[in-house]
Structure 1
Amino acid sequence: MRKVLSKSDFTVLSHLSTQANESLIQRELADELDWDSGYTSRVVSRLAESELLVREQQPIRGTNTARRRC
């Protein structure tokens, strides 16, 4: 079954692809896209469930990192 990307999904994936290591702390991603952190979290969760990116828990203050799947 083919999955359709929303504009927000595409924005996150394309933004991550411009990062040197294709990952970014979720809070920084929200700031750079000028999005609410809750909305960013929902988009990242949806992409992680679709296996289009990996959400990793970081040991520093419980932050999450979004990393694009290769």
Structure 2
Amino acid sequence: MLQITDTGIVIDSLTDVHQRLTEGFKRIYGDDINLDADSPDGQMIGLFSQEIDNINQAIAMVAQMLDPYKAMGHG
């Protein structure tokens, strides 16, 4: 889960996001749900995981741009 701490912003890895979504699907549909990468639900989890990771990366980049010690560019 994305967190802002005293040391900066911390985001989950793509693997962590995928694992969290997998666990959520299993809580909803039961442990016997087919979440293989080639199954429809597995593909949906993969798609959702990637999009959440993209959003997290964008948020982290914006947060770093606002930090004068981590910002990049001309100045």
**Fold equivalence (TM over 0.5):** no
Higher relative contact order (CA 8 A, sep 6+): 1
Greater fraction of residues in helix: 2
Greater fraction of residues in strand: 1
Q: Which has the larger radius of gyration?
A: 2
TM-score by length of 1: 0.32
